[in-house]
């Protein structure tokens, strides 16, 4: 499983594995012990984690969530142990992981969500942090079939 297979639904706690599209939306399965299934319809905002990033003051304007998760894993291992009710601690945490984060666009509530997502993934799908994302296009062939035979 990779970040392109995992979604967050606005207004719903937790993370969900994307199973398949349906006529009325997309079928999701909770990433937890219960593995409850639900259909997210067109009115619900579903965010695929591969497309999520953190605002930053760099050339790109953001840092991909995959890169943030890898930095967290380097520094904190498989669990972030932080008081999520303390906004100063949360903002200090994100400053440690993404030093150039945009202080005007990233809120403590965003960091709290990041911490919760990381802990859920580390507990239930740790392979997400090491899985290689599939490339969108196949690599170009540099030799013809005849050249391959003679090599």
Tens of pLDDT, residue by residue over 27-81, are 999 998 889 999 998 889 999 999 999 999 999 999 999 999 999 999 988 899 9
pLDDT, residue 135, reads 45
pLDDT digits 0-9 by tens, 134-149: 444 444 444 444 444 4
**Closest C-alpha to 114, from 45, 39, 44, 63:** 63
pLDDT, residue 9, reads 92
CATH of domain 53-129: 1.10.10.1650
Fold (topology level) of 3-49: SH3 type barrels. (2.30.30)
DSSP secondary structure letters along 46-97 = EEEGGG-EEEBSSSSSEEEHHHHHHHHHHHHTT-----TT-HHHHHHHHHHH
Mean pLDDT of 81-90: 92
The answer to whether the Cα torsion of 142, 146, 149, 151 is positive or negative is negative
Query: Model-level pTM?
Result: 0.80
| Domain ranges, ordered by start, for the chain | 3-49, 53-129
Q: How far apart are the first and last CA of the chain?
A: 36
**Closest C-alpha to 4, from 62, 49, 45:** 49
Residue 84 confidence (pLDDT) above 80 = yes
Mean pLDDT of 111-123: 93
């Amino acid at each position: 499983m990779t970040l392109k297979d995992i979604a967050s639904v606005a207004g719903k706690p937790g993370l969900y594995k994307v199973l398949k599209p349906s006529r009325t939306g997309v079928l999701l399965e909770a990433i937890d012990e219960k593995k409850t299934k639900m259909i997210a319809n067109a009115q619900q905002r579903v965010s695929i984690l591969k497309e999520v990033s953190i605002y930053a003051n760099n050339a790109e304007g953001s840092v991909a969530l995959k890169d943030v998760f890898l930095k967290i894993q380097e520094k904190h291992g498989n669990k972030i142990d932080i008081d999520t009710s303390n906004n100063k601690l949360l903002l200090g945490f994100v400053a440690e992981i993404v030093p150039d984060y945009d202080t005007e666009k990233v809120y403590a509530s965003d960091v709290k969500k990041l911490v919760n997502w990381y802990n859920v993934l580390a507990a239930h799908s740790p392979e997400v942090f090491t899985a290689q994302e599939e490339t969108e296009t196949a690599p170009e062939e540099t030799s013809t079939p005849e050249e391959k035979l003679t090599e």
